[in-house]
Structure 1
Amino acid sequence: MDEKKIPVETAVAASSDILVGDVEPQGFDAKATKKLLRRQDWHIIPFMSLIYLLCFLDRTNIGNARLDHLERDLNLHGLQYNDCLAILFPFYIAAEIPSNIMMKRTRPAIWLTFIMFFWSACMIGQGFVKSYSGLLATRVFLGVFEGGLFPGVNYYITQWYCRHECGFRMALFFSAATLAGAFGGILARGIAEMDGAGGIAAWAWIFILEGLLSILVSTAAYWCIYDYPATATFLSSKERNEVGHRLRADHGHLSNEFDVKYVWQAIGDWKVYIHMLICMAGFCPIYSFALFLPTIIKSMGYTANNAQLMSVPPYVFACFFTIGASYYADRVRKRGVFLMGFQLVAIVGFGLLAGSGRASVQYTGTVFAAIGIYPQIPLGMAWNSGNLGGSLKRGTGIAMQVMGGNCGGIIASYVYLSRDGPRYIVGHSILIGFISMAFFLTLFMSTWCKTENERREKIMRETGPRELTEGEKKLEQELADNVPWFRYTV
């Protein structure tokens, strides 16, 4: 593709010019704009979703491998299995902000291809480990290379779509996590039949085959990822200008320059930390669910093979509600009320799991829990990213939010302990507590955003509209979302 021949400096400069330069409106009507968005969707979202499906599958397939005697063959005892789950997340978290900075300094096609190739290699290596220490080591490197994908792609989406359009696209992308859960259960059931083939156990084949699939996709990633609207060969010159005009109108004249001060702006913004806690309280049940669902379903009385298959339906429901909720949230341009609704559904789901010993009620609880927890992530990501002004502050804030989320992954690794089985009431209760915390934080943020918008509206009415000087515009570039005209999504 011609896009790949454009030097990095030229591409970044062109992208910045489109976003902040003097671009004349192209006069796209509603029908033409819808066609333009559809063209972007088809060229951007499917491949990003495929990459994340494989990423989430590689990160969580250890839960499926556990049912095929991983612990027995590696001689894991006590909390060693949980340690292997948890060790991934500190390194995953540490990689997130540097990775988003690399996304800004290099190009998405280069950086995402790089990290995908190496996490796939780690996944294959995980199939050949012979001990607890070997499994720990491969999980460390898996975390290092996977850490950049989720915050990176969420940031990448904000470079192509307006704020009120990002949630639905993030949901389409994140729904791959639910498909990974469903696909992982089906695939693990089939791979179980390979037990002993080539002298390799079924759990090892899960890692090897799924790693090979990921590495195959990574070899095509460089040519399938489009970097910037300014260099996208699938768009005409008129369409590229229109994308830039729409983004400039949506984000105003806030800075898109690379300057470390915007990183520190995000680090010093208290609102980002609230979103980190909300994200942590969302990812904790998601990782608990993804890593332990086969074990929980098996404890209901199903065989290992049937438990793999019975883990599929909750993910199918979760996928449907994740996409549907974000679509309607984009339409009405609200996030908080949708988040709170799904948080209540999740509490009901885990309440059913904790409160009843009947298999049918517990299984219903897994469905409600899946429906309640998965939509929270794209809704929360779109909410935070849409309320951060300036591209580098937004990229850093997104990475920080995902860092907070993956702290929930560390906790999730120890939520369901073998000694608490088969009911795991303690684990379910812990997750209810985290989701309840998220509910009240979401209520606080939604109320604050609404109040702050009203305050700014009042000030604007009192001062009246006026044309800014170039000096004032330059000053406002550095204020990010603190500029008087910026309105928060509630």
Structure 2
Amino acid sequence: MDFKNAHDASSEETPAKAGAIHLEDHHGHRLSKKEQVREVDAAIARSDITLDSFAHLDINKILRKIDLRLIPMLTLLYLLSFLDRGNIGNAKIEGLAEDLNLTGAEYNGCLTAFFFTYCAFEVPSNMLLKKLSPSIWLPSIMVAWGIVMTLMGIVQDYHGLLIARIFLGVAEAGLFPGVVYYNTMWYCRYEVQVRQAIFFSAASIASAFSGLLAYAVGAYFTLYDFPETATFLTSEERAFVAFRLKYDGQDAATDNSHRIAQSERRGWEPVKAAFKDWQIWINIIVYWGYVCPLYGISLLLPTIIKELGYKSTTAQLLTVPIYVVASVITIAVAWYADRKRIRSPFIVIGLVFQLIGFIMCISSGNAGVTYAGVFIATCAIYQCQPSNVTWLSNNLAGSYKRAVGMGIQISVGNLAGAMASNFYRSEDSPRYILGHALEIGFIVAGLIAAAVLIMSYRTVNAKREQAVANHEHNGYTLEELSELGDKSITFRYTL
């Protein structure tokens, strides 16, 4: 197969300013996926190939093609995952505790148990994702949690529910970190948040309607592995997407002779680099600042509303407008954030509005005020998740370091779910002052951590700008700068 020559008739209006790419015609012989990846990588690594070589291609058209193949299925997957995980809150107000003779502590224990296995298996899952390929790993995860949820239907007591929730955590562990990393293998840094938001909005939709769905929904699906092997793209389009991703981390104003590729280095070095990276651990505190409230609300919102004096059916329905509005805000914020190439302002604003919402909840026992506070907090919470996971992914360079780093962020970050599931104790109903107070504490910690990250990134970026202005990057080889990843003086942190 041949890439279209940049000077042919189809591109006369936008002539190429650099070399044309040609891939060998294999005369009907079908290459393996590994061979396809190697061939594309070799072609785009040529020094005469630049973005101008693809100037005649419409990137928006290509992104739409990718969106249509990836986003609907990923969204469905996460909707099903979050539905399976979160519908225990709805089941409780419909008689789960009475049917299984659960005490308040036993119910909270079942909520907590899920998160320990869920968090423990997230980093290993991300490491396996690229090794086994997404088209194998992600469907396998779905089959596993489908089996667990089917068996949960025959649970008869507390111990059965506890065991089922433990195994559900194992089965679902790899989906969210896997998909947010998978998206970074298809979209550049300032295109990915809106896709993460659409995918994550499935969580709010699931939370809105989980009380109305009584049986499992299954789907047969096909996932594509990587852009280099995507059959729905032309050969030239595959090279274009791969090229953009390969050199996406270079923000510094360096010339083409200093074109820094994303490192694909495997082994334990990227793993150790991720575990030792300061920004990941500070970001986890930011993550806790909105995930504690998220899980507290998603697991206990129906109960809180019911205990404010509403019937169970009304309590279920009152959750719907909250999550629908949250979903719309999440996507709108992500679109704007990608367009402006910023992340942190929306996280900070989201944390501030969460704070306002929970202060309303803790300061009044009036049902209307509490509902309004929960409404405000939830709408602020949901947009924070895609904003923050994208913020960290933007600031981790090197494919495998990013995979591990995002796994650490989400796994340790989701320990907040284990904590939040114990914030709202049955003896504290109906006002749950302790639970709301603890949420406020985590939100404040998240705001402080976000401020630390912003100031640190600004300081590092300023130093690197000066270093590049002094041509210090000329003292490194391209390979050395690539291996340094986000620690390279040519890399700029996203704010």
* Counterpart position of 2:309: 301
Tell me which amino acid in the other structure corresponds to 2:123.
I
The one of 162, 173, 177 equivalent to 2:203 is 177
Query: SS where residue 58 of structure 2 aligns?
Result: helix
Alignment partner, residue 448 of structure 2:
440
Q: Deviations over 1:382-415 (max 9, x none)?
A: 0000100100000000000001221101001101
Secondary structure of 1:388 counterpart: coil
Q: 1:85 aligns with which of 88, 91, 111?
A: 111
SS in 1 for 2:191: helix
TM-superposed CA distance for 1:332, in Å, is 1.1
Per-residue CA deviation, residues 190-240 of structure 1 (Å, 9 max, x unaligned), is xxxxxxxxxxxxxxxx4xx12xx1xx22xx23xx21110011111111111
Cα 1:17–1:90 change in 2 (3 A) is farther
Q: TM-score, normalised by structure 1?
A: 0.89
Contact between 1:284 and 1:405, CA under 8 Å: does it hold in 2? no
CA contact 2:104–2:425 (8 Å) conserved in 1: no
Q: Is the 8 A contact 2:289 2:447 kept in 1?
A: no
Q: Is the 8 A contact 1:119 1:142 kept in 2?
A: yes
2:318 to 303, 310, 330: 310
Matches of 1:248 and 1:425 in 2, distance apart? 50
Paired residues of 1:18 and 1:245 also in contact (CA < 8 A): no
Which shows bigger deviation, 85-94 or 254-263? 254-263
Give 1:246's aligned amino acid.
R
Q: Give 1:244's aligned residue.
A: 242
User: Contact 1:88 / 1:143 at 8 angstroms: preserved in 2?
Assistant: yes
1:101 aligns with 2:114: no
Aligned counterparts of 1:6 and 1:78: Cα–Cα separation in 2: 58
Judged with a 3 Å threshold, the aligned counterparts in structure 2 of structure 1 residues 365 and 51 are, in CA distance, closer, same or farther, namely same
Alignment check: 8 A CA contact 1:87 1:139 kept: yes
**Corresponding position of 2:149:** 123
Is it true that 1:320 corresponds to 2:328 in the alignment? yes
Among candidates 385, 388, 395, match of residue 377 of structure 1 = 385
The equivalent position to 2:340 in structure 1, one of 332, 339, 364, is 332
Structure 2 match to 1:476: 481
- Match for 2:86: what amino acid? T
Per the TM alignment, residue 90 of structure 1 is displaced from its structure 2 partner at its CA by 0.9
SS in 2 for 1:233: coil
Give 1:103 shift: 0.5
For 1:290 and 1:176, the matched residues in 2 are separated by: 13
Question: Alpha-carbon deviation of 1:120?
Answer: 1.1
| 1:18 to 1:174, Cα distance in 2 relative to 1, 3 A | farther
For residues 333-388 of structure 1, give each alpha carbon's deviation from its aligned partner in whole angstroms, at most 9, with x where no partner exists. Answer: 11111110010111111111111122111111111011111111110000000100
Relative to structure 1, the CA distance from residue 12 to residue 364 in structure 2 (aligned partners, 3 Å threshold; closer, same or farther) is same
Runs of 4+ in 1 over 6 A off after TM superposition: none
TM-score in terms of structure 2 length:
0.88
SS of residue paired to 2:121: helix
Say which of 384, 390, 394 aligns to 2:398.
Answer: 390
Q: By how many angstroms is 1:15 displaced?
A: 6.8
Distance 2:294 2:72 in 1: 22
Q: Is the 8 A contact 1:281 1:405 kept in 2?
A: no
Measured against aligned partners, the alpha-carbon deviations of 1:289-342 in whole angstroms (never above 9, x if no partner) come to 110010011012110111111111110111011111111111111111111001
Q: Percent same amino acid among aligned pairs?
A: 41
Question: Is 2:228 the counterpart of 1:230?
Answer: yes
Determine the structure 1 residue equivalent to 2:490. 485
| Match of residue 399 from structure 1 | 407
Report if aligned partners of 1:356, 1:362 keep a CA contact under 8 Å in 2: yes
Aligned mates of 1:37, 1:168 — CA distance in 2 = 12
Which residue identity lines up with residue 344 of structure 1 in the other structure? Answer: V
Q: CA deviation at 1:254?
A: 2.9
RMSD: 1.9
